[in-house]
Amino acid sequence: MPLQKGYLADHPSAVAALAQLRRGAGKEFQQVPDLWGRLDLSPLHHQSAETAPLRERELTWAEDAVHVAVTLWALHQQSRSSAMHRPHTKELPTGLGAAVRQLVPDDERGEPVRKRFVRVGTAATLRELADRLRGLVVLLRGEDIAVDYALLAGQLYAWQQPGGRDAVRRAWGRSFQAYRPRSAADNDNNDNSLDKDAS
């Protein structure tokens, strides 16, 4: 993500863009006209030869999904010296559910965070969803827990489609349930297997 690289390198234009984008967190695309042109949405308008152009409704879904994801990332990245957007991998899961699960201790102290996550899953509108996600992002920022915002944008796009909410909720719930912190034994086993492969 070029904007993240610029911010982490302390480029003034990237720092200013991030500050401007943060103001859009939790708001809808059309509510923040001063952000128009801050996001490069041209790929949504110029499809390749292999794909059909997006219809008006799909284009609106895509614009809204990108807007919500990027403004949430800008809020998350604020005052952080490490990247808060990190691509999801099996080894380092950064899907929304896995990220939130890292906030939840194994005892009852984690119940308020779990309830917030459940509220995200019950949002009825994109505006409500964006607002509830904003609250989770503030918690994740406080613990320096990264999220895959490209994955989140794709999920927000799917969430707006007919039948998409259930699929996205399932993905978030599965990610939350499946996440397990890496133990010292896992790290040792991975280090040993790497040593064996290298010999």
pLDDT tens figures, 62-80: 999 999 999 999 999 998 8
- Mean predicted confidence (pLDDT) in 125-131: 94
Is domain 2-183 given the CATH code 1.10.540.10 in the classification? no
pLDDT at 182 over 90: no
**How many CA atoms, within 13 angstroms, populate the side-chain half-sphere of residue 44?**
19
Q: Which amino acid is at 181?
A: P
Of 3-12, 37-46, 190-199, minimum mean pLDDT range: 190-199
How buried is residue 77: exposed, middle or buried, by Cβ count under 10 Å (0-12/13-18/19+)? buried
Of 22, 25, 26, give the one whose Cα is nearest residue 125.
Answer: 26
Report the range out of 50-64, 81-95, 154-168 with the highest average pLDDT.
154-168
How many Å apart are CA 140 and CA 6, to the nearest integer?
22
CB 78 within 8 A of CB 26: no
- Mean predicted confidence (pLDDT) in 25-29: 82
Task: Enumerate the domain spans of the chain.
Answer: 2-183
How many Å apart are CA 76 and CA 20, to the nearest integer?
13
Task: Retrieve residue 170's tokens.
Answer: 């399932």
